Amino acid sequence: MKKPLNQTCYKFFSCLSNPTRIATIEMLLEKPMSVNEIAFKLGEEQSMISHNLKPLIECNFITSNREGKKRVYSINKETINNLLKIVKNHAEKYCPKSGKCIIKEN
């Protein structure tokens, strides 16, 4: 593409534009977990979660740490919390009816 495209933004946001990955992030906000734990709690397959963890790691939204046999994933709280704050703010302003967005015509 010959657009003045900001690659960073694209990678950043597309990493977050997936229900499984958002759910995973929500899980990890509670506490660090292994792939199997996330998979079990979300009722999904381990390999599926594993595939979805990859872009999250690549974008540094989560980090991983080996603990014995397990590999434990933790959230990058700084970025994620700041992001969620903005989303929350935006949603409160524009989607006040429990997630139903308001669009004003002009």
Q: What are phi and psi of 100, to 5 degrees?
A: -75, 120
Min CB(13)–DNA separation in Å: 10
Q: Specify the 3-state DSSP secondary structure of 65.
A: strand
Binding mask 57-86 for a copy of itself (x = CB under 8 A): xxxx--xxxx------------x--xxx-x
SS3 content of the chain, % helix, strand, coil (to 5): 60, 15, 25
Query: H/E element holding 95?
Result: none
Question: Of 31, 40, 45, 94, which one interacts with a copy of itself (CB under 8 A)?
Answer: 94
Does 54 help bind DNA (rule: CB under 7 A)? yes
Angle 53-72-37 from CA coordinates, rounded to 5°: 75
Q: Under the rule (CB under 8 A), what is the footprint of a copy of itself?
A: 1-20, 22-23, 26-27, 42-44, 57-60, 63-66, 79, 82-84, 86-87, 89-91, 93-95, 99, 101-104, 106
